[in-house]
Structure 1
Amino acid sequence: MFRDCSRPIETGMPTYPGDPDVTLAPDATHEEDGYATSELRTGTHAGTHVDAPKHTVPGGEAIDERAVERFAFDARLVDPRPLGPREAIAPDALPEPSDLDDDVDLLVLRTGWESHWGTDRYRDHPYLTAAAAERCRAAGVGVGLDAFGPDSTPTASGDIGSSVTAGDADSAAPTDDEPDGTPAHDVLLGDSLPIVENLCGLDGLPERFRLYAFPLRLRAADGSPVRAVAEWE
């Protein structure tokens, strides 16, 4: 079986605070030109995407420097719920390295936050502690999430894109112990482990599946949107 686990790329879609807005608009039309083309403007971390080490590691590997087979993952689904807004995911919420099959190279965390896509609440997703990221590093596995990323996302005034839903626009305040910067990114990308962000459609997936997340071949880029597809028997 196959399931598309990626967000549609569309004008006004949610983006990480401060990232470029996404627009997808007609360029040529059948009526005026006899054919159709479109113009896409996007950041490299829009929608469902993969991070390259270059994203947070100075001098790190770029997305086009990674062999294409490294974007076909043997994934294990992890469900640490229930989780509250901006709650830290500690190491004990993840499998022990000794409990992982040798072929697992990606833990896909189902936080439940995909249900908040398009609202300010999506910024308040749970996040990995640096210690949890270190457990992943020790196991040699990357991370996929149904959220902006493995680190906490800053609060920001205004909308995330143009699709914020009225009535769910208040963002929770950061907790006192919430870390600054990108410690989970730094641990994972510093060891060239993959990060796949803004996944969706995780409900109903089996514990073990194959996840394909092939990036665009962007020269020297720090990440790329992907079409993330889960496959299982």
Structure 2
Amino acid sequence: MKVIDLTHTISEAMPVYPGTEKPKLTTVNTYSKDGFKETLIQIYSHVGTHMDPPAHIFASQKTLDQFSPEQFIGKALVIDCRDLKEGQSITIDKINIDKAVSADFLLFNLGWDKRWKDESYFNDYPCIDDEVLEFILQGNFKGIGFDVIGLDPIHDENLTRHKALFKNRDIVNIENLKNLDQCGNDLFWFSCFPLKIENCDGSPIRAIAWYD
């Protein structure tokens, strides 16, 4: 079995969304003092490679802990968008429709993971346009994902795409993926399980691709 890790490591030095505090990993028990090591982890729910549920935007909508486990596993397809320049849109012609309709997850590869820990990671990354968003909403997808820090442009404080995605759909959105360039252009198995936290508005995940 071939397995590809699509997850950034959580660390105190990692990039975070503007206005968010960086993680704090504090050793509270040590080998020398206590005979074991234990760490106090302080992180925002939307740090690193993470997942948004509808409750991230709408108070009355579904939280991550209310989804069944089946929501977080299935077949995925990577959409190669690495030729797009900053500020351009992800358009429907990027998607192989015949393959996409058989997928549970559409993962958009902008090549942005190569900018991780570089200030340019916060530049004007390409985002899906209205036609692509409508295609997603009309499909039966469990989730979508990106190797950038947001579904919306970083300057869109209204979170327009988030609102449209979650308004009437129980779907998840994944941000800050990596290594999508290693996944090929055919369907593959994909999992993205979040922590099961009560009333969860978002959670770091361990995103994995694998091939039988």
With the length of structure 2 as denominator, give the TM-score of the two structures. Answer: 0.91
Q: Which runs of 5+ in 2 are unaligned?
A: none
User: Structure 1 residues 101 and 135 mapped into 2: Cα distance closer, same or farther (>3 Å)?
Assistant: closer
State the aligned residue count. Answer: 207
Paired residue secondary structure (1:203): helix
The letter for the 2-side match of 1:79 is D
- Report if aligned partners of 1:63, 1:220 keep a CA contact under 8 Å in 2: yes
From the superposition, tell whether residues 197 and 73 of structure 1 become closer, same or farther in structure 2 (CA, over 3 Å): farther
Please give the per-residue CA displacement for 1:30-89, whole angstroms capped at 9, x wherever unaligned.
112221100111011101111111111231101100001100031011102311123221
Name whichever of 217-226 and 201-210 sits farther off: 201-210
Equivalence for 1:203: 181
1:24 matched to which residue of 2? 25
Q: 1:208: Cα distance to partner?
A: 1.3
Identity %, equivalent residues: 29
Contact kept? 1:75, 1:209, Cα under 8 Å: yes
**2:120 match: secondary structure:** helix
1:201 deviates by: 1.2
Picking from 157, 162, 179, the partner of 1:185 is: 162
| Kept after mapping to 2: 8 A contact 1:144/1:197 | yes
Q: Residues 133-159 of structure 1, C-alpha deviation per residue, up to 9 Å, x if partnerless?
A: 1111112323111111221113xxxxx
1:4 aligns with: 5
* 1:216 equivalenced with 2:192 (yes/no): no
User: What does 1:68-147 correspond to in 2, within 5 Å?
Assistant: 68-96=69-97, 99-100=98-99, 102-124=101-123, 125-141=125-141, 142-147=143-148
Secondary structure at 1:47's aligned position in 2? Answer: coil
For 2:192 and 2:72, the matched residues in 1 are separated by: 5
Name 2:154's counterpart in structure 1: 153
User: Is the 8 Å Cα contact of residues 134 and 187 (structure 1) preserved in structure 2?
Assistant: no
Q: Among 174, 179, 204, which residue is 1:225 paired with?
A: 204
Q: How far apart in 1 are the matches of 2:140 and 2:193?
A: 20
Scaled by the length of structure 1, the TM-score of the pair is 0.83
Q: For 2:39 and 2:6, how far apart are their aligned partners in 1?
A: 24
Q: 1:27 is paired with a residue of what secondary structure?
A: strand
Q: CA RMSD in A?
A: 1.7
In 2, Cα distance between equivalents of 1:89 and 1:148: 15
| Counterparts in 2 of 1:114 and 1:81: CA distance versus 1, 3 Å | same
Equivalent residue letter for 2:176: N
8 Å contact kept, 2:4–2:182: no
Query: Which residues of structure 1 form unaligned runs of 5+?
Result: 155-178
- Aligned-pair CA distance for 1:180: 5.3
1:23–1:39: structure 2 CA closer, same or farther, 3 Å change rule?
Answer: same
Deviates most, 185-194 or 1-10: 185-194
Task: Decide whether the 8 Å contact of 1:86 with 1:126 is kept in 2.
Answer: yes
- Given residue 12 of structure 2, which amino acid in structure 1 is its aligned partner? T
